[in-house]
Structure 1
């Protein structure tokens, strides 16, 4: 699973809860990838059908989560697709290690 065109983002979002990590305390699915703009990490979250992001880096930390509509999530993922693809690959490799 990787982003090579905008249709792949649609599939990725539809299956987000199937492959992303799950926070049992905050009851959210989440996925972390590099923030190529600010040089930190972006956490994309989904809870009860609502998308949000939070950014954190060495020199910054967002004060709170930012709620995004699905179109803004698609734009974000497209803009950061190289980082998203790397993070997905790493997540898949880690899951394979656990299964083996």
Structure 2
């Protein structure tokens, strides 16, 4: 299954959060360099009756996201941001990686 999904290559727009610094030379994952991310969600039409039903990734920067939300769907209804709620942490110790996903 991993091979058929291009090694799970799904790209979600995420905000990078501050994690603890840690060290890439650490011998345990708990002390490795930590990178925390929070999913920004998805843009979609606000109409339940939209015939287009398209979804797209929100911009990573706030000013660009605000611009996107001023646009309308192809059906002429407002676009809304549907939050995701998923957060992930990647720990990078010496010689490996440890991934935690929640939400």
Q: TM-score range by the shorter chain?
A: under 0.3
User: Larger Rg: 1 or 2?
Assistant: 2
Q: TM-score, normalised by structure 1?
A: 0.25
Q: Which has the higher contact order (CA 8 A, sep 6+)?
A: 2
Q: TM-score, normalised by structure 2?
A: 0.24
Greater fraction helix = 1
